[in-house]
Chain A
Amino acid sequence: DAGVIQSPRHEVTEMGQEVTLRCKPISGHNSLFWYRQTMMRGLELLIYFNNNVPIDDSGMPEDRFSAKMPNASFSTLKIQPSEPRDSAVYFCASSLARGVRGRSSPLHFGNGTRLTVT
């Protein structure tokens, strides 16, 4: 069973460049989450989708960040232009939400993308 797949594993870029992170959720899952992990702020939720629709993007730091989910099997997180303070590990996670009375699955995380902006 393939888990959540993220690419690339590592990304090094120069300030001002556009960065695109990719995520393939577990097949059949209907919720997708983007998290960012830094030493200072820990794990923060950036945005999450349900049935490909963005539900909560209140964690997106600023307009330089955007996320899309064009279909159930693919999502992107884009930073344009990138800045050194964006350096972090970005995790994608997915789950199957069955509602309050259903037995929804826990979040399953990908291996993360380590982004370094110089």
Chain B
Amino acid sequence: AQKVTQAQTEISVVEKEDVTLDCVYETRDTTYYLFWYKQPPSGELVFLIRRNSFDEQNEISGRYSWNFQKSTSSFNFTITASQVVDSAVYFCALSEARVRNAGGTSYGKLTFGQGTILTVHP
């Protein structure tokens, strides 16, 4: 069974601080995808990044960076120089790479962690 654990329930920082959100996953699949989603106070779920299990190269996008460590089954997310607008709930998610379907192969279902509530104070 797949499982995603986000041990940090809530994090509170002051603007301009760096913050790292932890994500640890469990899966028996050798091929899988990892995701981060952001849920701002308005409630929508916003896709941030996808990483497949073959690619352990870390990624940076502006103030966001992701550290994928297959050896420790972790996919951590760092926000550099945090801003008030970063305040949101952040979800890590895991997907199996292939399942049966009507037309061939597809993404499996996303299994989400419980989320980390990030509050950035001015």
Decide yes or no whether B67 CB sits under 8 A from chain A.
Answer: no
Contact of A104 among B42, B102, B106, B112 (CB under 8 A): B106
Contact in complex: A97, B106 (CB < 8 Å): yes
List, in ascending order, chain A residues with CB within 8 A of B110's CB.
33, 45, 107
Decide yes or no whether A51 CB sits under 8 A from chain B.
Answer: yes
**Residue on A nearest B103 in the bound complex, by CB:** A51
- CA–CA, A106 to B46, complex, Å? 11
Mark contacts of A77-114 with chain B using CB atoms, 8 A cut-off: 1 yes-contact digit, 0 otherwise. Answer: 00000000000010101010101100010111111101
Q: How many residues of B contact A (CB 8 A)?
A: 29
Contact in complex: B103, A42 (CB < 8 Å): no
- CA–CA, A55 to B103, complex, Å? 11
- Chain B residues 73-117 with CB under 8 Å of chain A are 91, 97-107, 109-115
Contact in complex: B103, A50 (CB < 8 Å): yes
Decide yes or no whether A30 CB sits under 8 A from chain B.
Answer: yes
- CA–CA, A111 to B45, complex, Å? 7
Contact in complex: B101, A111 (CB < 8 Å): no
Give the secondary structure class of B's interface: loop
Contact in complex: B102, A100 (CB < 8 Å): no
- CA–CA, A97 to B97, complex, Å? 10
- Chain A residues 39-71 with CB under 8 Å of chain B are 42-43, 45, 48, 50-53, 55-56, 59
Decide yes or no whether A75 CB sits under 8 A from chain B.
Answer: no
Among B99, B110, B112, B115, chain A packs the most CB atoms within 10 A around the CB of: B110
Contact of B115 among A30, A42, A109 (CB under 8 A): A42
Give the secondary structure class of A's interface: strand
- CA–CA, A32 to B32, complex, Å? 19
* Closest Cβ–Cβ distance, residue B95 to chain A (whole Å): 8
List, in ascending order, chain B residues with CB within 8 A of A109's CB.
37, 44-47
List, in ascending order, chain A residues with CB within 8 A of B64's CB.
none
- CA–CA, A89 to B106, complex, Å? 26
- CA–CA, A34 to B91, complex, Å? 17
List, in ascending order, chain A residues with CB within 8 A of B43's CB.
89, 111-112, 114
- CA–CA, A33 to B106, complex, Å? 12
